[in-house]
């Protein structure tokens, strides 16, 4: 597992052309909205074949092969996750939680123009109404590092790492797409 | 108060107020979690002198530490001076504990070593160690403790059934040792803690609660072991006595290594190492049987490839905290497979337990506002039926009861012991 690119100090990436930066931001907002609205198929269509979807326990500073994470999905397991949600019998998301997340502080962390690969950091705050049982409003703050790759002309996610602010603490049910 | 719990916990039913009455919760924290044995962790987590981890015993925070002599100490995480919390991280390695309020330092054995500005201190340091667990014990590396010190021998608490469950798990390692190096994942649930000894050992709910997992993961082994028709599977629900229960899936496995989802040729070196330790016959048996599925009162779940604690928070909140089985002396590829399996099964984003959690939370809502029945009667609302399979349950000479995997034998096992503890420690 390669470590995450540096996200501290001065930006190390020279500014991207405005249309490309715009395209990346639009991708992040679309991905967030599809997840918020539990539009599983459309969200999955944004995923590349080599996807890794990782929600570490604590900071993303360990090798998830050897230690437990909340989520450490390769493409096949992510497909299973979505298949389970789509059965309509996933009680932990029946009905799906109403959710909205704010995405901000978007920074381009690394660029490989030749390969069409962009690593992007952003912050989020997700508000979830856990309607399946007590209807509590739960707040999930954190930071996402996306690795985006151009596949047949369009951006796709090949990695999404979600570092929760609360990642060291026990978590409520997290059966939605975070 | 004698007889109060006997009125709420009958052989075939229990009253819903047991999950919601805050006074009952307070009594449980004393009678079960302070005066009885509680599972805390594993020796591999504090392998070297100075290694420590922080754990709960009921509502108290304790430090589990390996002292200079290599002994396991379970110390109150509370300074003996004015009570400041000593360790506020999850784990660490130190040669002593220093309180940052007034700088008192304590040895790894809990003794008070130094007091700052000592001229004004006129007590004897020897009289002021950290509070500590009254009894600490371990079995095959599993560490248990109790604060009161009058809980009797650990071996009696575990019983033959509990020791056997732990041994069957550890024997899967070619060295006989397992470790907890994969770390812990905590799952927070808005339910009473007692729903977890019940849910974790309930063989009756899989095809309903876990229908989505069964459809999304078609090549699971639950069809042959727990569902697939009441008459078709021959798995057993067992009450070993003393609050130890088991879902014995072994008779239903149709092939070896079903529990690991692999075949012998893919893990040949592991199979060879197991055979070298145990001999061919026992190794073959272990590869077929896999890890056990059982619950040891009050808070230890051995969930096939997982080990979990049930940590109560308050009457309506619990933490279900688990780690993955990790075998010593095997290729890391095998341990990594166990980590992946554990992520699929347990934890807040897994494919299985979040659905159990929702059921527990919905039950908790359903029990709100229930009052214990008046005069110990068994009329009135809010009773929970646990009668399933009583008639077909068999009872061995040693008291072990065995039913069909879908029977409420395991629930009755928990509650029978609960009633005994709550009444006898009144
Ligand atoms: S409270 Fe710890 S030194 Fe005073
Ligand atoms: Fe379950």
The residue that leads in pLDDT, B223 or A31, is: A31
Could you tell me if residue B23 is left (phi over 0), alpha (psi between -120 and 50 degrees) or otherwise beta? Answer: alpha
Which range scores top for mean pLDDT: B54-63, B223-232, B365-374?
Answer: B54-63
Q: CB-based burial of residue A139 (10 Å sphere; 0-12 exposed, 13-18 middle, 19+ buried)?
A: exposed
Decide if A172 and B184 are in contact by the 8 Å CB cutoff. no
Query: What is the total residue count of chain B?
Result: 426
pLDDT of residue B1: 45
Sheet containing strand B135-139, edge to edge, reads: B38-42, B142-146, B135-139
Rounded to a whole number, what is the distance in Å from the CA of A143 to chain B's nearest CA?
18
pLDDT of residue B114: 97
Here the ipTM equals 0.95
Measured between beta carbons, which residues in chain B are less than 8 angstroms from residue A88?
Answer: 212
pLDDT of residue A4: 60
Separation between Cα atoms, residue A62 and residue A158, nearest integer Å: 19
User: Which residue has the CA at smallest separation from atom 1 of ligand 1?
Assistant: B82
Q: What is chain B's mean pLDDT, rounded?
A: 95
The answer to whether residue B336 scores a pLDDT higher than 50 is yes
Per-residue pLDDT tens for B167-222? 999 999 999 999 999 999 999 999 999 999 999 999 999 989 999 999 998 777 77
Q: Please tell me the least confidently modeled range out of A15-24, A55-64, B38-47, B228-237.
A: B228-237
Of B353, B319, B322, nearest to B338 by C-alpha is: B322
Decide if B185 and A136 are in contact by the 8 Å CB cutoff. no
Q: What is chain A's mean pLDDT, rounded?
A: 94
Which SS3 state, helix, strand or coil, does residue B376 take?
helix
- DSSP letters, B17-29, are GGGT-HHHHHHHH
DSSP classification of residue B147: S
Separation between Cα atoms, residue B30 and residue B136, nearest integer Å: 17
- DSSP letters, chain A, are -PPPPP-SSS--SPPPPHHHHHHHHHHHHHHHHHHHTT-HHHHHTTEEEEEEEEE-SSSS-S-TTTS--SEEE-HHHHHHHHHHHHTS--GGGSSPPPEEEEEEEEEEEEEETTTTEEEEEEEEEEEEEETTTT-EEEEEEEEEEEEEEEETTEEEEEEEEEEETTTTS-B----S--
The answer to whether residue A78 scores a pLDDT higher than 70 is yes
Kindly state whether A63 is in contact with chain B, defined as any CB-CB distance less than 8 angstroms: no
pTM for this predicted structure: 0.96
**Beta strands B244-248 and B236-241: pairing type?**
antiparallel
Ligand 1, residues B104, B121, B123: which to mutate, most atoms within 8 A of Cβ? Answer: B104
Neighbours of B132 (CB within 10 A): 18
Q: What sign for the dihedral angle of Cα A67, A72, A76, A80?
A: positive
Question: Looking at residues B104-131, what average pLDDT do you find?
Answer: 96
Among all residues of chain A, which has the CA nearest to that of B313? A170
- DSSP letters, B91-133, are EEE-SSEE-TTT--EE-TTS-EEE-SSGGG--S-GGG-PPPB-
pLDDT class of B254 with cuts at 50, 70, 90: confident
pLDDT of residue B34: 97
Rounded to a whole number, what is the distance in Å from the CA of A40 to chain B's nearest CA?
14
Q: CB-based burial of residue B384 (10 Å sphere; 0-12 exposed, 13-18 middle, 19+ buried)?
A: middle
Neighbours of B174 (CB within 10 A): 21
User: Which H/E stretch holds residue B286?
Assistant: helix B280-289
pLDDT of residue B199: 95
Per-residue pLDDT tens for A7-59? 566 667 888 999 999 999 999 999 999 999 999 999 999 999 999 999 999 99
Kindly state whether B354 is in contact with chain A, defined as any CB-CB distance less than 8 angstroms: yes
Separation between Cα atoms, residue B132 and residue B120, nearest integer Å: 26
pLDDT class of A1 with cuts at 50, 70, 90: low
Question: Looking at residues B265-280, what average pLDDT do you find?
Answer: 94
- Nearest CB among B212, B344, B362 relative to A133 is that of B362
Question: Looking at residues A56-74, what average pLDDT do you find?
Answer: 97
- DSSP letters, B302-354, are EETTEEEEEEEEETTEEEEEEEE-EETTS-HHHHHHHHHHHHHHSSTTSSSHH
CB A158 within 8 A of CB A149: yes
Question: Looking at residues B51-61, what average pLDDT do you find?
Answer: 97
Percentage of chain B lying above the pLDDT 90 cut: 88
Ligand 1, residues B63, B76, B81: which to mutate, most atoms within 8 A of Cβ? Answer: B81
Measured between beta carbons, which residues in chain B are less than 8 angstroms from residue A139?
Answer: none
pLDDT of residue B37: 98
Q: Please tell me the least confidently modeled range out of A8-17, A139-148, B250-259.
A: A8-17
pLDDT class of B378 with cuts at 50, 70, 90: confident
Per-residue pLDDT tens for B211-222? 999 999 877 777
Of B144, B145, B124, B143, nearest to B134 by C-alpha is: B145
Q: Please tell me the least confidently modeled range out of A84-93, A100-109, B245-254.
A: B245-254
The answer to whether residue B2 scores a pLDDT higher than 90 is no
pLDDT of residue A10: 67
CB B83 within 8 A of CB B100: no
Decide if B336 and A57 are in contact by the 8 Å CB cutoff. no
Distance B162 CA to ligand 2 centre (A): 21
Which SS3 state, helix, strand or coil, does residue B60 take?
strand
Neighbours of B1 (CB within 10 A): 8
What are the angstrom distances between the C-alpha of A121 and each of A14, A112, A114, A145, B395?
15, 15, 20, 5, 61
């Amino acid at each position: 597992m390669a470590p995450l690119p540096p996200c501290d100090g001065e930006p190390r990436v020279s500014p991207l052309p405005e249309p490309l930066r715009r395209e990346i931001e639009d991708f992040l907002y679309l991905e967030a909205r599809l997840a918020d609205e539990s539009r599983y198929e459309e969200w999955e269509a944004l995923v590349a074949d080599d996807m890794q979807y990782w929600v570490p326990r604590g900071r993303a500073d360990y090798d998830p092969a050897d230690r437990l994470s909340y989520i450490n999905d390769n493409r096949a397991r992510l497909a299973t996750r979505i298949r389970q949600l789509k059965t309509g019998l996933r009680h932990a998301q029946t009905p799906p939680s109403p959710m909205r997340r704010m995405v901000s502080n978007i920074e381009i962390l690394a660029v490989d123009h030749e390969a069409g690969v962009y690593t992007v950091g952003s912050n989020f705050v997700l508000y979830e109404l856990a309607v399946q049982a007590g209807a509590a409003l739960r707040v999930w703050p954190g930071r996402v590092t996306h690795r985006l790759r151009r596949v047949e002309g369009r951006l796709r996610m090949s990695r999404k790492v979600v570092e929760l602010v609360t990642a060291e603490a026990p978590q409520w049910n997290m059966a939605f797409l975070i | 108060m004698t007889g109060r719990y006997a009125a709420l916990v009958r052989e075939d039913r229990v009253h819903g107020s047991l999950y919601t009455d805050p006074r009952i919760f307070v009594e449980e924290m004393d009678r079960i979690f302070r005066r009885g044995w509680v599972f805390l962790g594993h020796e591999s987590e504090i392998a070297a002198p100075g290694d420590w981890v922080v754990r709960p015993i009921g509502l108290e925070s304790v430090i589990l530490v390996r002292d200079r002599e290599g002994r396991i100490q379970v110390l109150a995480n509370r300074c003996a001076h004015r009570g400041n919390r000593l360790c506020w991280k999850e784990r660490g390695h130190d040669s002593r504990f220093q309180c940052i309020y007034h700088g008192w330092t304590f040895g790894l054995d809990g003794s008070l070593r130094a007091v700052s500005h000592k001229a004004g201190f006129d007590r004897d340091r020897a009289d002021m160690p950290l509070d500590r667990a009254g009894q600490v014990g371990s079995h095959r590396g599993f560490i248990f403790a109790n604060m009161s010190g009058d809980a009797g021998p650990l071996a009696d608490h575990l019983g033959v059934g509990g020791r056997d469950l732990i041994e069957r798990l550890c024997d899967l390692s070619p060295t006989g040792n397992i470790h907890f190096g994969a770390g812990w994942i905590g799952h927070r649930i808005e339910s009473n803690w007692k729903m977890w000894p019940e849910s974790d050992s309930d063989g009756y709910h899989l095809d309903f609660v876990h229908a989505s997992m069964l459809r999304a993961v078609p090549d699971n082994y639950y069809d042959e072991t727990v569902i697939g028709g009441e008459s078709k599977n021959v798995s057993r629900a067992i009450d070993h006595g003393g609050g130890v229960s088991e879902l014995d899936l072994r008779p239903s496995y149709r092939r070896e290594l079903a529990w690991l989802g692999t075949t012998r040729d893919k893990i040949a070196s592991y199979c060879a190492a197991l055979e070298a330790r145990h001999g061919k016959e026992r190794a073959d048996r272990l590869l077929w049987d896999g890890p056990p599925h059982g619950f040891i009162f009050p808070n230890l779940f051995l969930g096939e490839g997982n080990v979990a604690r049930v940590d109560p928070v308050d009457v309506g909140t619990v933490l279900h905290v688990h780690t993955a089985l990790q075998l010593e002396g095997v290729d890391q590829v095998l341990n990594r497979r166990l980590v992946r399996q554990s992520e699929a099964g347990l934890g807040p984003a897994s494919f299985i337990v979040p659905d159990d959690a929702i059921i527990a939370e919905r039950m908790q809502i359903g029990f709100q506002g229930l009052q214990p029945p008046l005069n110990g009667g068994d009329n009135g609302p809010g009773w929970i039926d646990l009668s399933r399979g009583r008639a077909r349950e068999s009872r061995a000479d040693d008291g072990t009861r065995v039913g069909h995997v879908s029977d409420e034998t395991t629930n009755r096992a928990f509650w029978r012991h609960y009633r005994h503890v709550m009444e006898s420690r009144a």
